[in-house]
Amino acid sequence: MQAADRIPATFTDLYELTMAAVYWARQMNDPATFELAVRGLPPSRGYLVMCGVESTLEFLEQVRFDEPALAYLASLDLFEEPFLAMLETLRFTGDVWAIPEGEVAFAGEPLVRVTAPLIEAQLVETFLLNAVSYETMIATNAARISQACAGREWVDFSARRNHGIDASVRAARAARIGGAAGTSLVLAGQEFGLGLSGTMAHSFVMRFGDERDAFLSFARAFPGRAVILLDTYDTDDAASLLAELAEQLRAEGALPRGVRLDSGDLDSLSRSVRATLDRAGLGDLQIVASGDLDEYRIEQLGAAGAPVDGFGVGTHLVAGPGSQLDAAYKLVEDATGPKLKLSPGKASLPGRKQVYRISDGDHCAYDVLALHDEVVAEGRPLLDHVMANGTRTSAPETLEAAAKRREIAVGGLPSRTVALEPLPPPYEVRLTPALRTLRDRLRASHTRAVGTTP
Amino acid sequence: MQAADRIPATFTDLYELTMAAVYWARQMNDPATFELAVRGLPPSRGYLVMCGVESTLEFLEQVRFDEPALAYLASLDLFEEPFLAMLETLRFTGDVWAIPEGEVAFAGEPLVRVTAPLIEAQLVETFLLNAVSYETMIATNAARISQACAGREWVDFSARRNHGIDASVRAARAARIGGAAGTSLVLAGQEFGLGLSGTMAHSFVMRFGDERDAFLSFARAFPGRAVILLDTYDTDDAASLLAELAEQLRAEGALPRGVRLDSGDLDSLSRSVRATLDRAGLGDLQIVASGDLDEYRIEQLGAAGAPVDGFGVGTHLVAGPGSQLDAAYKLVEDATGPKLKLSPGKASLPGRKQVYRISDGDHCAYDVLALHDEVVAEGRPLLDHVMANGTRTSAPETLEAAAKRREIAVGGLPSRTVALEPLPPPYEVRLTPALRTLRDRLRASHTRAVGTTP
């Protein structure tokens, strides 16, 4: 796995370096603040679950240009020697504020805020956008799957569907924060201490040819832990076979833990399989469903009362309408003051900001975007100071702590916001009067400036 | 970057290991053949562009369980000591056949075929599905973007939108095979010798505050190579400013190479900017467009005659309807003969297969799936023998060779198949009579077997 503490500084877009070269030559390396925010929520999403802070901090703590990277940059014939010499000693020395992992967030809110010498803050943009967007997308999808499961367990089966290696490992981690009980990916279990889950493949049954031999061999190899796959040929026949083998396996102390259905009409199959198992005294065997499941299908199965005890989710954890967050990392303030961008559809809010969440009894009512120096007394500030002068302010928290935070945060959302298809109005993110005033003043000054361009 | 030659063997789903443990205990480790195929094409896709062979071979050449992995597996209390001892010495010793990178392929065709001792063949499933699905998806999307560009250049801008680190690096590589001229990702340039491309960010202009100073500084820093971003405040005003600076920059030998438009109505803005630049004698400056572009938008701009010379594509290289391939890795033959699976919607074709492409003059007409031992004399076989006994049969080919293969292969497709919205009928993949007969015979025997289950 590609741990974030081994990712080279050349994981950056070329323009970060060309801009840095100009800043360096012009001695414009005074501290600047960038904020990473999602411009709009993907379709059908009413909220985001923050993730990617840990990857960000691991990356920033160690990011550097190594010897091969510097040699490569020199070969491009784009950069002058003093600039490359500066890169050789470059470390991230800035401050980072972030919404903690597992917390709920909304479009337009700064998820991460970086204040650092301009060159450092600029060079890390590509990694931060990649990591925070991706992990937040997965944690958000996972939270929706957990909602749909309504208390039943589900497991991340996404490794074969993911985009690469570290994407798979980090998906398992983000899924845990979003509420998954575990993962099928051994490397992710090894890396993060996640619970591992696995059943058997169709190829196993096909190799044995005979389901009887396949089921007996697997059950005996993992007594009390095996999950038997029923749909290689015919699901109901396979359930009947297992029922027939029950007495023998019980006598050997080798009853399986459950069965898996991976295709067909999961609602009706789960009922017939449940009935077959129950008749054979196998009421304790769990039924696990998989096969192109998403949060909607899981919710339907639950609403229909299908006797499914757990789910495996692969493709739809990482794909579908929520597979991309439209995030941006924007300069909001530098030595010359607060900044904004006016590009159509991409206008930004100036100044270093804090997000406050305002509660209304048991639920959160709305959020307020405020300038960093303001205090919104009735609200709870969401951005924590997680890195100071390039060093973490505290040790990494456990995944369980982040998962618990997600559970509480999602539970505190208004029902219209938390619905799988959110209802209007969208959760409100207000601006303080001071922030509005600053934005309007800067907009006006740019409009004037543009108006006087010859 | 996570090169495939450093990915641990624990990048695998738990069930691969639990099945392997049973195979080991039962001495069922005779050679077996698995085929990796895509079940159906994603929406709007008429063809696939094969990619991921190089990652597969790099992985297979070195895959092993290292000390930490073995210690972790032992800690799970699932596996017996002799099995873990076997894993310690496990190497991939099998044979691999694959459709070469850049070649066009279709649903149902084996893209990769692995023959190896059953345990080896099974354990590598997760990686192969992940790598081949992902890279083929990117190369396919890239080929569509190249079609839409109709000869104009485009560059991969996807690093910040990708799902993780190695996904980004491999996206740049697959995009090159699909026809991209280069990438913005420095690490990918370093890794694969890809051309690097970059412009400037809005934050650069915002930091300067004054566009005049920003443009002059950037152009002077990279004489003849700079691409100036025009849309931070107002695109037409910025173009006028650049026109005003032209004489001065020309005198200094520091004219930029081009300009970039990143928002707004790209059709009308490209025309007004082109006119402004041309009036100032800047007819050589290229106009590069970016900002949420996909193949449809690019095709529209081209069809409208918008004077855009090049494109940067990020999000839509990796997201959207084509962001997932529904691939499977299926046991097709083992020591006991050819195998198939009957699961509803997931039925497979038995036996080791070869794909033949049948031409009809300048274009390919249809493909034929044949058993490996058959010869379809009128066709060109697509699967190459790329690994024998765990060793590559030849050195890696250049990216340029794969890109050229893609260009020829896509150019040889029927126009209905290559269209961005393909027209019926879909490109045909026929089965030889021998393959059909084998399938029908195995189906019938399984149906009989199921019918006699008590």
pLDDT tens digit sequence for B15-29: 999 999 999 999 999
Q: Is it the case that residue A215 has pLDDT exceeding 60?
A: yes
Q: How far apart are CA A338 and CA B206, in angstroms?
A: 10
Helix, strand, coil shares of chain B as percentages rounded to 5? 45, 20, 35
Side chain identity, residue A14: L
Pairing state between β A286-289 and A258-261: parallel
User: Would residue A293 be called left, alpha or beta, if left means φ above 0 and alpha means ψ between -120 and 50 degrees?
Assistant: beta
pTM value is 0.96
- List Cβ neighbours of B343 (8 Å cut-off, separation of 6 or more): A202, A231, A232, A233, A262, A263, A264
| pLDDT score recorded for residue A242 | 97
Contact between B134 and B161 under an 8 Å Cβ cutoff? The reply is: no
| pLDDT score recorded for residue A347 | 74
Q: If pLDDT is split at 50, 70 and 90, which confidence band does A4 have?
A: low
- List Cβ neighbours of A23 (8 Å cut-off, separation of 6 or more): A29, A118, A119, A122, B207
In 3D space, the residue among B454, B119, B397 whose CA is nearest the CA of residue A276 turns out to be: B454
Q: In whole angstroms, how far apart are CA B152 and each of A438, B145, B301, B302?
A: 43, 10, 12, 9
Q: Is it the case that residue B212 has pLDDT exceeding 50?
A: yes
> In this structure, what token pair is assigned to residue A305?
């009362």
| pLDDT score recorded for residue B105 | 98
Q: Is it the case that residue B447 has pLDDT exceeding 90?
A: no
pLDDT, averaged across chain B: 94
| pLDDT score recorded for residue B86 | 97
Decide which of 3.20.20.70, 3.20.140.10, 2.40.40.20, 3.20.20.140 is the CATH code for B4-138+324-451.
3.20.140.10
User: Would residue A193 be called left, alpha or beta, if left means φ above 0 and alpha means ψ between -120 and 50 degrees?
Assistant: left
Secondary element (H or E) of residue B451: helix B433-451
Q: Do B264 and A10 touch (CB under 8 A)?
A: no
pLDDT tens-digit profile of A293-341? 999 999 999 999 999 999 999 999 998 777 889 999 999 999 999 998 7
> In this structure, what token pair is assigned to residue B178?
């699909």
Backbone phi, then psi, for B130, in 5-degree steps?
Answer: -60, -50
Q: If pLDDT is split at 50, 70 and 90, which confidence band does A453 have?
A: very low
- List Cβ neighbours of B14 (8 Å cut-off, separation of 6 or more): A184, A185, A186, A189, A196, A197, A198
Question: How many C-beta atoms lie closer than 10 Å to residue A423's C-beta?
Answer: 11
Sign of the dihedral defined by the CA atoms of residues A86, A91, A95, A101, in that order: positive
| pLDDT score recorded for residue A5 | 56
Q: Do B14 and A197 touch (CB under 8 A)?
A: yes
Q: Is it the case that residue A1 has pLDDT exceeding 50?
A: no
| pLDDT score recorded for residue A199 | 84
Pairing state between β B327-334 and B31-38: antiparallel
* C-alpha B431 chain-centroid distance: 26
- For the beta sheet containing B337-338, the strands, ordered from the edge strand earlier in sequence to the opposite edge, are B337-338, B327-334, B31-38, B110-117, B95-98, B384-388, B391-392
Cβ neighbourhood burial of B430 (10 Å; 0-12, 13-18, 19+): middle
User: Would residue A186 be called left, alpha or beta, if left means φ above 0 and alpha means ψ between -120 and 50 degrees?
Assistant: alpha
Burial readout B174-203 (b: 16 or more C-beta within 10 A, e: otherwise): bbbbbbbbbbbbbbbbbbbebebbbbbbbb
Tell me, yes or no, if B21 comes closer than 8 A to chain A by beta carbon: yes
Tell me, yes or no, if A198 comes closer than 8 A to chain B by beta carbon: yes
Rg (CA), chain A: 26
Tell me, yes or no, if A260 comes closer than 8 A to chain B by beta carbon: no
- Selecting from A187, A201, A318 the residue whose C-beta is nearest the C-beta of B15 gives A201
| pLDDT score recorded for residue B1 | 39
Cis peptide bond upstream of A425, omega within 30: yes
Least confident of B277-291, B401-415, B440-454: B440-454
Sign of the dihedral defined by the CA atoms of residues A350, A354, A359, A363, in that order: positive
* C-alpha A265 chain-centroid distance: 30
Find the closest chain B residue to A65 by CA distance. B187
Cβ neighbourhood burial of B156 (10 Å; 0-12, 13-18, 19+): buried
B199 min Cα distance to partner chain A (Å): 5
Contact between A154 and A180 under an 8 Å Cβ cutoff? The reply is: yes
Backbone phi, then psi, for A239, in 5-degree steps?
Answer: -65, -40
Q: How far apart are CA A42 and CA B302, in angstroms?
A: 29
Q: How far apart are CA B196 and CA B156, in angstroms?
A: 9
Q: How far apart are CA B37 and CA A52, in angstroms?
A: 33
Q: Is it the case that residue B31 has pLDDT exceeding 60?
A: yes
Least confident of A313-317, B319-323, B338-342: B319-323
Q: Which residues pair with B452 in a beta bridge?
A: none
| pLDDT score recorded for residue A452 | 37
Q: Do B7 and A165 touch (CB under 8 A)?
A: yes
- List Cβ neighbours of B290 (8 Å cut-off, separation of 6 or more): B157, B260, B261, B262, B311, B312, B313, B314
| pLDDT score recorded for residue B319 | 86
CA angle A140, A143, A147 (to 5 degrees): 140
CA contacts within 13 A on the Cβ side of B328: 22
| pLDDT score recorded for residue A2 | 46
| pLDDT score recorded for residue B362 | 86
Please state the length of chain B.
454
Q: If pLDDT is split at 50, 70 and 90, which confidence band does A342 have?
A: confident
Backbone phi, then psi, for A33, in 5-degree steps?
Answer: -120, 130
Strands (E), A39-121: 48-49, 95-98, 104-105, 110-117
Average pLDDT over residues B199-228: 93
Burial readout A373-404 (b: 16 or more C-beta within 10 A, e: otherwise): ebebeebebbbeebbeebeeeeeeeebeebbe
- List Cβ neighbours of A417 (8 Å cut-off, separation of 6 or more): A46, A47, A426, A427
Q: Do A315 and B334 touch (CB under 8 A)?
A: no
| pLDDT score recorded for residue A320 | 78
Average pLDDT over residues A151-156: 97
Residue range A198-284 forms a domain whose CATH class is alpha beta
Tell me, yes or no, if B2 comes closer than 8 A to chain A by beta carbon: yes
In 3D space, the residue among B172, B63, B121, B399 whose CA is nearest the CA of residue A164 turns out to be: B172
Q: Do B134 and A217 touch (CB under 8 A)?
A: no
Fold of B198-258+267-286: TIM Barrel (3.20.20)
User: Is ipTM over 0.85?
Assistant: yes
- Selecting from B11, B198, B315 the residue whose C-beta is nearest the C-beta of A324 gives B315
| pLDDT score recorded for residue A171 | 98
Tell me, yes or no, if B121 comes closer than 8 A to chain A by beta carbon: no
Q: Is it the case that residue A345 has pLDDT exceeding 90?
A: no
How do the domains of chain A map onto residue ranges? 4-138+324-451, 198-284
Q: How far apart are CA B179 and CA B13, in angstroms?
A: 34
CA contacts within 13 A on the Cβ side of A55: 31
Q: Do B345 and A263 touch (CB under 8 A)?
A: yes
Pairing state between β B353-360 and B258-261: unpaired
| pLDDT score recorded for residue B445 | 84
Of chain B, the percentage scoring pLDDT greater than 70 comes to 96
Residue with the two structure tokens 């958000």? A140
Q: Do B200 and A15 touch (CB under 8 A)?
A: yes
Q: Is it the case that residue A216 has pLDDT exceeding 70?
A: yes
Contact between A256 and A286 under an 8 Å Cβ cutoff? The reply is: no
From first CA to last CA, the distance across chain A in angstroms is 55
Pairing state between β B310-313 and B153-156: parallel
Residues of chain A neighbouring B38 (CB-CB closer than 8 A): none
Find the closest chain A residue to B221 by CA distance. A22
Q: Where are the alpha helices (DSSP H) in B284-396?
A: 295-303, 315-318
Tell me, yes or no, if B125 comes closer than 8 A to chain A by beta carbon: yes
> In this structure, what token pair is assigned to residue A339?
């900044």
Could you give the maximum distance between any two Cα atoms of chain B, in Å?
92
Helices B14-25, B81-89: axis angle to 10 degrees equals 110
Q: Do A157 and B240 touch (CB under 8 A)?
A: no
- Selecting from B15, B168, B206 the residue whose C-beta is nearest the C-beta of A198 gives B15
In 3D space, the residue among B354, B350, B356, B346 whose CA is nearest the CA of residue B378 turns out to be: B356
Q: Is it the case that residue B223 has pLDDT exceeding 90?
A: yes
Q: Is it the case that residue B454 has pLDDT exceeding 70?
A: no
Tell me, yes or no, if A29 comes closer than 8 A to chain B by beta carbon: no
Average pLDDT over residues B136-162: 97
Residues of chain B neighbouring A10 (CB-CB closer than 8 A): 186-187, 190
> How many beta-carbon pairs below 8 A join chains A and B?
334
Average pLDDT over residues B70-96: 97
> In this structure, what token pair is assigned to residue B364?
């390919």
Q: How far apart are CA B98 and CA B394, in angstroms?
A: 13
